[in-house]
A and B are shown apart, each in its own frame.
Chain A
């Protein structure tokens, strides 16, 4: 996976602070491909509890990550038990690398 230990630590910290320690966090997309270069950071975050507004919290999480990792393309998909899962969620669950 093409993320540095420091980047992984900062991502985990932001998810922990904003979504909670119980969230499932996965990296998917081009950053999981060792042969690719650059590319967006695609994150899939799943909260075990229903959130007041997952869309706004996802935007806030994106902002926090851009503050700590630098202003770059970071795509956050934040789901909770009330979310209607889509094809991208299935891909993230099946192919994403869990950050633990």
Chain B
């Protein structure tokens, strides 16, 4: 069992609390959005369906916030617990992949590219938005799985979550 650096713990715990909240928020809106799966007809009439437009908006922004918090704060500070300090995002992701908390670096970048395709104000065709949303449900599961894997790692290494 790898020891961790106690001085790095408070800063990690702070981002961990934020990420857990963000993950709950994303799971909640994901469930509400896909329980009543958006159809092409409804997306074509999105201007008249404010509730659906709001859920899509909330889903996109929570997805973005969770991925950014994980990539910019949680993963670097998790690595810092073990004495690593990668600077660039790609280096962070490769180290997190070796640690077993990120499944695939390329997959992570694909999620980042996908979320930019969920900002419906900029999407010109309802069909593109529908395809983006269809890919986004499994994509959200991948992000949430990353949070679960970190939680599992903390338990395995007896690192206090708070």
Return chain B residues, CB-CB under 8 Å to A86.
124-125
Distance in Å from the Cβ of A58 to the closest Cβ of chain B?
Answer: 7
Q: Which residue of A lies closest to B108 (CB)?
A: A63
Provide the A59-90 mask, 1 if CB < 8 A to any CB of B, else 0: 11011101100110000100000111010000
The reply to whether B125 and A59 contact each other, CB–CB distance below 8 Å, is no
Interface membership of B106, Cβ < 8 A: yes
Interface centre among B107, B124, B131, B132 (most CB of A within 10 A): B131
For residues 18 through 43 of chain B, which have their beta carbon under 8 Å from a beta carbon of chain A? none
Return chain B residues, CB-CB under 8 Å to A63.
106-110, 112-113
Return chain A residues, CB-CB under 8 Å to B111.
59
Provide the B116-153 mask, 1 if CB < 8 A to any CB of A, else 0: 01000000110110011011000000000000000000
Return chain B residues, CB-CB under 8 Å to A83.
125, 127-128
User: Binding site of A, secondary structure by majority: helix, strand, loop or mixed?
Assistant: helix
Return chain A residues, CB-CB under 8 Å to B128.
54-55, 83
Return chain B residues, CB-CB under 8 Å to A53.
131, 134-135
The reply to whether A55 and B117 contact each other, CB–CB distance below 8 Å, is yes
Q: On chain A, which size bracket covers the interface?
A: 10 to 19
In the bound complex, CA of A67 to CA of B89 (Å):
12
Interface membership of B114, Cβ < 8 A: yes
Return chain B residues, CB-CB under 8 Å to A82.
127
Q: Which residue of B lies closest to A76 (CB)?
A: B113
For residues 38 through 64 of chain A, which have their beta carbon under 8 Å from a beta carbon of chain B? 53-56, 58-60, 62-64
In the bound complex, CA of A59 to CA of B117 (Å):
8
Return chain A residues, CB-CB under 8 Å to B110.
56, 59-60, 62-63
Provide the B85-113 mask, 1 if CB < 8 A to any CB of A, else 0: 00011100000000000000111111111
Return chain B residues, CB-CB under 8 Å to A84.
124-125, 127
Contact residues of A with B, CB < 8 Å? Answer: 53-56, 58-60, 62-64, 66-67, 70-71, 76, 82-84, 86
Q: List 25 A-B contacts (CB under 8 A).
A: A53-B135, A55-B131, A56-B134, A58-B113, A58-B117, A59-B110, A59-B114, A59-B117, A60-B106, A60-B110, A60-B113, A62-B113, A63-B106, A63-B109, A63-B113, A64-B106, A67-B105, A71-B89, A71-B90, A71-B109, A76-B113, A82-B127, A83-B128, A84-B125, A86-B125
Further pairs besides A59-B111, A63-B113: 7, Cβ < 8 Å: A56-B114, A56-B132, A59-B135, A60-B113, A63-B106, A63-B110, A83-B125
